[in-house]
Amino acid sequence: MKWTDINDIAIELADAYPDDNPLKINFVDLRDRVMALPGFADDPKYCGEKILEAIQQAWIDEVA
């Protein structure tokens, strides 16, 4: 996965952290969790606030 695989990342986060509320995760922790996902292989320099916002929103949508 890459940073642009927003929906895939959201699904993986929902599976990996089923008890976590995505609204309460700060962007530093979110970035670290994404980079720790199995199959994630992208450079952290390609991650920015807009990408993290999109991932967070997709994760919220996934668990809603």
For 6-49, what is each residue's pLDDT tens digit?
Answer: 999 999 999 999 999 999 999 999 999 999 999 999 999 999 99
Q: How far apart are CA 39 and CA 61, in angstroms?
A: 22
By the 8 A CB rule, do 30 and 3 touch? no
Q: Confidence band (pLDDT; 50, 70, 90) for 57?
A: very high
Predicted TM-score (pTM) of the model is: 0.96
pLDDT confidence of residue 62: 96
Q: What is the CATH number of domain 6-63?
A: 1.10.10.600
Q: How far apart are CA 54 and CA 10, in angstroms?
A: 9
